[in-house]
Structure 1
Amino acid sequence: MIRHIRPALVSMGLFTVLLGLGYPLAVTGVGQAAFPFRAGGSLLRDDQGRVIGSALIGQGFAEPKYLHPRPSAAGDGYDASASSGSNMGPLNADLAGRVKTRADALRAEAPGQPIPADAVTASGSGLDPDISPAYARLQAARIAKARGLNVNQVQTVIENETEKPLLGFIGQARVNVLAVNRALDKL
């Protein structure tokens, strides 16, 4: 019996070391070498080198001079430890009330403008760092007024920071909120 068990135990030990340690370390090493920015969390730093956020995780911006992100269902807003959707279905009265409240606020801010869906609904994780170009343009007048800028200056920043679909057709155009706000602060 030991003659049959020994090869099984040796194989299990070998594959545990190979696939449980060797492979993950190799993939991590290749990722760090080939894509250091992404492998390190896509951290963005200020001029003094302090981390101010990640290009991959949304943050709350509430001041009128900043581009506002999508609403967040994560905890008290952009709390990564409570990342999740609201799990409310389209017929849920609470969700309908939230959407109506958000839409009414945007209608007061930008009367007569169409309101994009991402302006009034939270993302699945509640931590989405990107918004649609339409939602970003909707906010341009408010930002320009708060910063004392021309609306065209704000729209130019938004257009410069708009990421196109991969290969021109995979995904949708998107605007990274943190990148736009950093560019606005540099004006």
Structure 2
Amino acid sequence: MRLPAWLNQHLAALRTLLALTVLTGLIYPLTILAFAQLPGLKHHADGSLITVGDTTVASAVLGQAFTDPAGRPLPQYFQSRPSAAGDGYDPTATAASNLGPESIVDTLPDPALTAAGASDANAKLSLLTQVCARSRAIGEREGVDGGRPYCTPGGVGAVLGVFRRHGITGAVTRVVSLNEPCPATPFLATYQGKTVECATYGEDYSKAVVTPIRGDAPPTPAVPADAVTAGGSGLDPSISPAYASLQAPRIARARGIDVAKVRELIDAHTTGRALAFMGEPSVNVVQLNIDLDRTYPARS
């Protein structure tokens, strides 16, 4: 008996569904699982887990924060780079900040909320101010100059809103430090003969010409770029050798050992460029800190 055309079409679709289900839902996953169990691959397939004794403490491919319950960096540990994944290194919220080079003006908080001890959900720090604040904090922690171009000494973006007589041309009529809310004292006293004002919450500065000020910071900051910028995934376990080296004296003091020994551990955990030409040398912070605890336990 010849089946109706519409029924033949449905049966063909059903056979295709069953075939693809077996192929992609069973055969392919089981084949990949089998390959993943081969020597040399199994460790990576299992998550590159690191164990200390009988306890799994970390994954070599996932970064983590080395801070106390209040979020303060622990002085006896190397610090990871910043993370925009959730509250930091959250593998369930892997993400970047999505802020780029043009993010240089902050959205100021409502001073009424700040005075009441509340946070303003509409306030937002620009990428520039985040970088400036991080650099200043790291400079203080590591005992180096945390200054960098386009940052104020107070750790915010050094950005002026310059009003001109004819919009974007003509004489300067007014100047506002956009990232320094009143009653702050602006980082510059005057600009082209005009007194620089602090920024007033709620005032419209959209007609001002946004003007970053480079300042007198050294062209090559003491704090490396990876120390103040988050990775794209938010889970990067590695930092640059320069950032690791910057932290070595603090680690040595906290653990009561010679700084040369700390630098030896850094060298041992430094990996070169992939295939000798891709990327940059890096230091896995998680593995380095575990080795640090094992080799030179922190003093209690």
Question: Do both share a fold (TM > 0.5)?
Answer: yes
1:159 aligns with 2:192: no
Q: How does 1:20-169 map to 2 (within 5 A)?
A: 20-34=25-39, 35-47=41-53, 49-61=54-66, 62-92=73-103, 93=105, 94=125, 95-108=127-140, 109-112=142-145, 114-169=222-277
Larger Rg: 2
Aligned AA (1:41): G
Moved more, 21-30 or 103-112: 103-112
Q: 1:158–1:180: 8 Å Cα contact kept in structure 2?
A: yes
For 1:74 and 1:53, the matched residues in 2 are separated by 17
The runs of 4+ residues in structure 1 deviating greater than 3 Å are: 2-8
* Aligned sequence identity (%): 45
> Higher helix proportion, which one?
1
- Report SS of the residue matched to 1:139: helix
For structure 1, the 5+ residue unaligned runs are none
For structure 2, the 5+ residue unaligned runs are 67-72, 106-124, 146-220, 296-300
Give the structure 1 partner of residue 166 of structure 2.
none
TM score, norm. by length of structure 1 = 0.92
For 2:91 and 2:21, the matched residues in 1 are separated by 32
TM score, norm. by length of structure 2 = 0.59
Give the structure 1 partner of residue 283 of structure 2.
175
Residue 172 of structure 1: CA displacement? 1.7
Residue 114 of structure 1: CA displacement? 2.1
Deviations 1:85-114 (A, max 9, x none): 111222223221111111112223242572
For 1:104 and 1:3, the matched residues in 2 are separated by 72
For 1:171 and 1:107, the matched residues in 2 are separated by 26
Aligned AA (1:42): S
Q: 1:143–1:154: 8 Å Cα contact kept in structure 2?
A: yes
Question: Number of paired residues?
Answer: 186
For 1:19 and 1:78, the matched residues in 2 are separated by 32
Q: 1:110–1:138: 8 Å Cα contact kept in structure 2?
A: no
Q: 1:57–1:127: 8 Å Cα contact kept in structure 2?
A: yes
- Report SS of the residue matched to 2:58: strand
Residue 4 of structure 1: CA displacement? 5.0
For 2:9 and 2:128, the matched residues in 1 are separated by 64
Root mean square deviation, CA, Å: 1.7
